[in-house]
Amino acid sequence: MNARKLALTAAVSALAIAGQAQAEVDFSGKTIEWVIPFSETGGSAKWANFFAPLLAEELPGNPTVVVKFMPGAGSTKGANWFQEQEHEDGTLLFGTSGSTQFPYLLDDPRVRYEYSDWVPVMASGTGGVAYLNPTDGEKFDGSADALKDTAFIYGSQGATRLDLVPLLAWQMLGMNVEPVFGIKGRGDGRLMFERGEATIDYQTSSGYLGASADLVAQGKAVPMMTWGALDEDGNIVRDPTFPDMPTFKEVCEATEGCETQGDAWDAWKAFFIAGFPVQKIAFLPAGTPDDVAQTYSDAFDAVRSRPDFAERAMQQVGEYPVFVGEGAANAAKEGTTVSDEAKTYVQNWLQEAYGVSLN
């Protein structure tokens, strides 16, 4: 046998071995736990509960995918726990959101997790909607000028979580919003709003579509603005899920004293980008073999390629891109990176506005 035939035989054998290895990834009869580090009432819960049954249909062996919740410390409790987990058989999945990414970005001393250790297999964007109680909603005309003399109450997970995006936005608008810290998920903030314990609220798109939109339909809430979305050139444009709502940028431009340039705007936009266009990410534990990770990526790819996916997603989680494989890895990197200037601005703002020191 000549060298060329030997090389061809070796290549065919390698492909056969690779195919056998891929075929060995089979979850028949197994249960996959998808851990969410928030309460069962928030947007992350709705996101995971939306994807879980679809993922179960596409993974080989059609395993049961169960969503479990591990709230605490604004999601750092669950993330610190996941950091200690090691790959066993591919039956553990972990879901993070911007409220997990922001403490990491801000060097929060409670963070004992490292994103680069984990294996991202899917990432998806989201948006956010801020809304007002009916009384103050009547005053809103596209600018925040008529809201500046009102004292608002807001149920917050913490200023270093994803809540820093609305809190900084409202401050830039000159609004007086007093956060009540300590809730375990944005769904708990919505419940505070429903009970009248809070007078302003914000939800990610899935949380808004799942419950807050009903409050609007009932006349119990008035939409104020979305955070927007990014176009291909990195400009903030209207959220495709809520095209009739103004963005924060539009409201800022219409409000006296609010500027869409300068240090505050640059910092807000940097954390908006880190927290929303790639807001939710699904990870496998450190040490997960490539074939298992590829199996998950392929399954999520099959989910997003379903002919009914776009319609179902629009109704439950919103119209946003879903990234898999290398796209998920790039999205995870983008979502866990901000400039030193933006980080320093936000750290100083947290100290001045809320007495929060991360040093």
What's the CATH code of the domain at 252?
A: 3.40.190.10
Q: For the chain, how are helix, strand and coil distributed in percent, rounded to 5? A: 45, 20, 35
Q: Do 133 and 270 have their domain in common? A: yes
pLDDT at 76 (0 to 100) = 93
Residue at 104 is within a domain = yes
| Rounded distance between C-alpha atoms, residue 238 and residue 143, angstroms | 16
Q: Do 249 and 161 have their domain in common? A: yes
Q: Do 73 and 115 have their domain in common? A: yes
pLDDT at 9 (0 to 100) = 42
Q: Do 120 and 135 have their domain in common? A: no
Q: Do 209 and 321 have their domain in common? A: no
Give the closest residue to 18 by CA, choosing from 341, 352, 335, 289: 289
Question: What tens digit of pLDDT does each residue of 269-280 get?
Answer: 999 988 898 889
Which residues form the domain of 90? 31-125+277-335
| Rounded distance between C-alpha atoms, residue 317 and residue 50, angstroms | 8
Mean pLDDT of the chain: 91
| Rounded distance between C-alpha atoms, residue 266 and residue 268, angstroms | 6
Q: Do 134 and 267 have their domain in common? A: yes
| Rounded distance between C-alpha atoms, residue 196 and residue 1, angstroms | 83
Q: Do 271 and 132 have their domain in common? A: yes
pLDDT at 23 (0 to 100) = 52
Average pLDDT over residues 58-73: 96
Residue at 19 is within a domain = no
Question: What tens digit of pLDDT does each residue of 12-59 get?
Answer: 444 344 444 345 899 999 999 999 999 898 889 999 999 999 999 999
Residue at 54 is within a domain = yes
Give the closest residue to 152 by CA, choosing from 200, 193, 108, 185: 200
In terms of Cβ atoms closer than 10 Å to its own Cβ (0-12, 13-18, 19+), residue 300 is buried
Q: Does the pLDDT at position 197 exceed 80?
A: yes
Residue at 88 is within a domain = yes
Residue at 192 is within a domain = yes
Residue 85's φ and ψ, nearest 5 degrees, are: -85, 145
The CATH number of the domain where 44 resides is what? 3.40.190.150
Residue at 344 is within a domain = no
Q: Do 271 and 193 have their domain in common? A: yes
Q: What is the dihedral of CA 115, 120, 124, 127, to 10 degrees?
A: -10
Residue pair 162/275 in contact by the 8 Å Cβ criterion: yes
pLDDT at 47 (0 to 100) = 94
pLDDT confidence bin for 334, thresholds 50/70/90: confident
pLDDT at 74 (0 to 100) = 80
Question: What tens digit of pLDDT does each residue of 277-314 get?
Answer: 888 999 999 999 999 999 999 999 999 999 999 999 99
Residue at 114 is within a domain = yes
Average pLDDT over residues 194-201: 98
Bridge-based pairing of strands 128-132 and 222-226 is antiparallel
C-alpha dist (Å) from residue 120 to 102, 128, 240, 302? 17, 23, 25, 16
Dihedral sign for Cα 346, 347, 349, 353, please. positive
Give the amino acid at 10: A
Q: Do 213 and 111 have their domain in common? A: no
Question: What tens digit of pLDDT does each residue of 85-100 get?
Answer: 988 799 999 999 988 9
C-alpha dist (Å) from residue 349 to 73, 160, 168, 261, 315? 21, 11, 9, 17, 36
Question: What tens digit of pLDDT does each residue of 312-328 get?
Answer: 999 999 988 899 999 89
| Rounded distance between C-alpha atoms, residue 67 and residue 142, angstroms | 39
Q: Do 228 and 301 have their domain in common? A: no
Residue pair 237/229 in contact by the 8 Å Cβ criterion: yes
C-alpha dist (Å) from residue 301 to 284, 286, 321, 326, 353? 16, 21, 12, 12, 43
Q: Do 149 and 200 have their domain in common? A: yes
The string of DSSP letters for 66-92 reads: EEEE---GGGHHHHHHHHT-B-SSS-E
**Total domains in the fold of the chain:** 2
Q: Residue 108 CB: number of other CB atoms within 10 A? A: 17
Residue at 351 is within a domain = no
Rounded to an integer, what is the distance from CA 283 to the centroid of its chain?
13
Q: List, in order, residues 6 or more apart from 159 with CB less than 8 Å away.
A: 167, 179, 181, 350, 353, 354, 356
Q: Do 118 and 167 have their domain in common? A: no
